[in-house]
Structure 1
């Protein structure tokens, strides 16, 4: 008699295909790793074929597992939609929304927006992940991505909020540099994310206009660039949304138009139909001001 997959089987396959390890899959499912292993063995025996390749780094989904995971995602979306409909207070949206962004965008834009959203949707909770990668949204490790990019991945849908304008800044207490001419004269120490973000527009711009300059401080985020600039430790290229209202900083250049990129609010095609996701997505898309 053919093996009959059920919803729990699909949930196991989806969790393992997303995470790649028994431990992480178990955390998603609320069981231990040994239970995930036993369930996988049972499913594979029933289907009479291997669903995952065992590698040193974990479990890699084979073609059939990926196909089953797609169906499992559809089931997941439908279940969440049904839960939203069944809420006792229809106008109230509840649940957890996972957002991935950079620390700079979180600090300057997303966190203040979520604080305002709390007043109208107090039952929503959030998991906030900061990093420079965007791939986690494709694996459904996040529901929404707020990213600076010129070309979002094709598998995501979203809205372009607008251009992120940047300029060169120094601190008012950095006596050696208070004008752009001080920078061109070689008086400035530079603060930049060269190693962490080698393709960042600010890094490319500096290398084009100041080819011989080696940053005195190399950091791993634009937020850290601002913190060090504010301390008077050097100059750095910063987004103007981050410096808005900062009376302690001096803008040394006009807006560097050839150095700007675009801010996008992105989500997966199927996740956008979930009420909790669509609520936050629409709010961020219309509220974020840069």
Structure 2
């Protein structure tokens, strides 16, 4: 006789959602395990168990890692809401509710970090001494979608539409030489000046496009992977280079050879994820940066 009892529908819990979220964010068993505090085999078994319960795969396996299906992405979005709600609930139970604690991960470039972000965070630190900052300086765009970072500060004219953000102003640039350097604009125009410029790690940097358009025959003497290095070499008198005016401002060892170069203008954006912006630790840092890091 056939049983009249229907099979129990599989029900996802918070622990299963946490596993799926870790896999979507990292793409590998080992990295997901590191986030969860377990080994890779435990994550593998958990994913298998969840997929069996759901009756469909969540990830496509390949040598490059685990690529999330549409269902896995949808579950990860719900898991992020659970994560945000739990963090809000934990914050509400603090003995001193006015005190903001936790870690805020900020991604930006080295020039923005040293020239704008660190000075702003130094102003904020006495107000929220329990906050900890993880600062990532690099030219690649760290993913806010996968929660590799909480806040990004970027020079871009096309901020990602899935993020929320605020434009902080315009980054303007000019051509500089060292204050004690003999180079003049006539040397630049005659092709006699040595150039310091970003290397192939920044092929689309506005200063690179400007130089190639106006001085196509120039072969930079020094090619570097950091605008801070461009700054220091120009200040040492090693050649001329295009620099953000906010970074060069107040430096007595630099001398502008041009006014601001309109073709190098770029927008400065403060970005975060819509699901994260209401968390107290992120809202506090985001709001402070929005109020203090302003370019005109």
Give TM-score, length-normalised by structure 1: 0.96
Q: CA deviation at 1:174?
A: 2.6
> 1-side partners of 2:81 and 2:199: how far apart?
41
Q: CA deviation at 1:195?
A: 1.0
> 2-side partners of 1:99 and 1:195: how far apart?
24
2:268 aligns with: 263
Number of aligned residues: 288
8 Å Cα contact 2:163-2:272 kept in structure 1: yes
| 2:214 alignment partner, one of 198, 209, 215 | 209
> 1-side partners of 2:210 and 2:199: how far apart?
11
| Alpha-carbon RMSD | 1.2
Deviations, residues 75-120 of structure 1 (Å, cap 9, x unaligned):
1111111122222212111111111100111011111111111110
8 Å Cα contact 2:155-2:266 kept in structure 1: yes
1:192 aligns with: 197
1:237 aligns with: 242
1:180 aligns with: 185
2:5 aligns with: none
1:29 aligns with: 36
8 Å Cα contact 2:107-2:142 kept in structure 1: no
| 2:48 alignment partner, one of 41, 48, 53 | 41
Which contiguous aligned blocks of 4+ residues in structure 1 show a shift greater than 6 angstroms?
Answer: none
1:101 aligns with: 108
2:251 aligns with: 246
| 1:64 alignment partner, one of 71, 89, 92 | 71
> 1-side partners of 2:43 and 2:177: how far apart?
54
1:223 pairs with 2:228? yes
1:136 aligns with: 143
Q: CA deviation at 1:41?
A: 1.6
More divergent stretch after superposition (215-224 vs 277-286): 215-224
Larger Rg belongs to: 2
SS at match of 1:104: helix
1:278 aligns with: 283
Deviations, residues 220-241 of structure 1 (Å, cap 9, x unaligned):
1211211221222111100111
| 1:149 alignment partner, one of 144, 156, 159 | 156
Give TM-score, length-normalised by structure 2: 0.94
1:168 pairs with 2:175? yes
> 2-side partners of 1:214 and 1:16: how far apart?
45
More divergent stretch after superposition (211-220 vs 140-149): 211-220
SS at match of 2:10: coil
SS at match of 1:136: coil
2:4 aligns with: none
2:11 aligns with: 4
2:23 aligns with: 16
